[in-house]
Chains A and B, each alone.
Chain A
Amino acid sequence: MNIFDSSFKEIFTSQIVSVLGGIIAGTILAVYMDKILLIPGMLILLPGFLEMRGNISGSFASRLSAGLFLGVIKPRLRETHIIKGNLFASFSLALFVSLVLGLLAFLFNYVVLGIPTPTIIFLPLIAGLIANAIEIPLTLIVTFYIFKKGHDPNNFMGPFVTSTGDITSIVSLLIALVII
């Protein structure tokens, strides 16, 4: 049984991209550890906040790819019924999930740890706003670019979204901290 076939190579390559993005995000996290992780409840918030970007932008990219292949969406940055709806839905979902994550972190902090930190509600909301203002248009542009180049965006967008998503999320959290 030969396990080193083409799909092995494809998964391996995409994993290198994903891991490198994760390591860069982790390094930023370690450098600014005193600012980010010392806020009570930050570790409750962080996994969900990092995961959200992949969940929302990943689905967005895969819907765009399906539409592009079916010819329903044209790879042009012109507002159409489908693109507008997708952008609005992705952005609304991201903001809503950011708020839920903030509320959950506040609740767990208060109930389990006995520390009331209202800041933790607004932090993911502001960071989510910044991160998605970058990540969602970036996903749209890169998906179109890859499709125009004749490649299948499904093979590239998963690792791209998770790795860039991690970096933008951590940087946005830092910016939100400065704002708050």
Chain B
Amino acid sequence: MKLLITAKQHKLRKQLHRLTKIKRHKHHHLIHNLHKKHRISKKTLFYVKEYGPHSHIARTIIKESIKILLFASVLSSFGGLALEQIKALFIQIVPLIILLPALNDMIGDYGSIISSRFSTMLYEGKVKRDWKTDRELKKLFLQIFTIAIVMVILSVIISLFISSFTNYKVTTAIAGKIMFIAVLDVALLVSILFLVAIVAGLYFYNKQEDPNNFLIPITTSIADFGNMILLAVLVLLLF
């Protein structure tokens, strides 16, 4: 009996060692086998694979993150370029300057929330084949959309209030325009992000890849870039 356990442990150790050598690109079947056979959680196995005693942690993190960070930097710089083109006009609208970091954070956060929640729903098998009639998805959309609208209205009110303490004169017309720009920006982007998350999420899931690894960078980049472009266009049109 003791011999049998030792042999089993030895085999497990060998398999875990093999796991640390596997490249990250695909979901390896060894993870699934070890998870099923030895009841080790998939997260633990993933951690062993990524940050085991033989791995160079800093190199692994840098190698895996650098491409997406560079992509995000280029995309946000392009978005920023759109705002830079209308800088003279933009910096005159104090409430929008106050709103800018909050809007960026907000829309990026919604991208992450939609992506991670939709990925989890896919893994749990909660998404129907016909996603357009799916109740769970409808509920998620309504939740995010409601929160987004409430938060953006709240942010605009606070930014207008703070602006009233500066030299900037807040008239009803300006307040209305700023509210319209911010609400339209958030409503449009949340809807686009939702659609992108579903289409891309289903695509990667059907290709048997982990949607978590792709959806968050894709949606947050679209959120940042889209926010800058939309703000630039709306400011140009309304001011």
A-side residues, CB < 8 A to B, are 1, 3, 7-8, 11-12, 14-16, 18-19, 21-23, 25-27, 29-30, 33, 37-38, 41-48, 50-52, 54-56, 59, 63, 66-67, 69-70, 72, 81-82, 84-86, 88-90, 92-93, 96-97, 100-101, 104-105, 108, 112-113, 158-159, 162-163, 166, 170
Contact = CB atoms under 8 A, between A and B. Distances in A.
A46 B80 contact: yes
26 contacts: A1-B142, A15-B106, A19-B105, A22-B105, A23-B98, A23-B101, A23-B158, A30-B163, A46-B80, A50-B101, A51-B76, A55-B69, A81-B57, A85-B58, A89-B57, A89-B58, A89-B60, A89-B65, A90-B61, A93-B69, A100-B73, A104-B73, A158-B109, A159-B109, A162-B108, A162-B109
A85 B79 contact: no
Contacts of B43: 66, 69-70
Contacts of A100: 70, 73
A55 B72 contact: yes
A66 B15 CA distance: 22
Contacts of B147: 8, 11-12, 15
Given A25-B102, A89-B65, A97-B69, 14 more contacts: A1-B135, A8-B147, A23-B158, A23-B162, A33-B94, A42-B84, A47-B77, A55-B72, A72-B47, A81-B53, A88-B58, A108-B84, A162-B109, A166-B105
Interface in B77-133: 77, 79-81, 83-84, 87, 90-91, 94, 97-106, 108-109, 112-113
Contacts of B99: 23, 26
B69 A105 contact: no
A9 to B, nearest CB: 10
Contacts of B44: 70
A67 B151 contact: no
A11 to B, nearest CB: 6
A80 to B, nearest CB: 10
Contacts of B56: 85
Interface of B: 41, 43-44, 47, 51, 53, 56-62, 65-66, 69-70, 72-74, 76-77, 79-81, 83-84, 87, 90-91, 94, 97-106, 108-109, 112-113, 135, 138-139, 142-144, 146-147, 150-151, 154-155, 158-159, 162-163, 166, 220, 224, 228
A48 B77 contact: yes
A3 B142 contact: yes
Given A3-B142, A29-B97, A85 B51 contact: yes
Nearest to B74: A104
Contact of A66 (B47, B60, B98): B47
Secondary structure of the A contact surface, majority rule: helix
Contacts of B98: 23, 26-27, 29-30
Most chain A CB within a 10 A radius of its CB, from B94, B101, B166: B101
Nearest to A15: B151
Given A45-B80, A51-B224, A92-B62, A22 B101 contact: yes
Contacts of A30: 94, 97-98, 162-163, 166
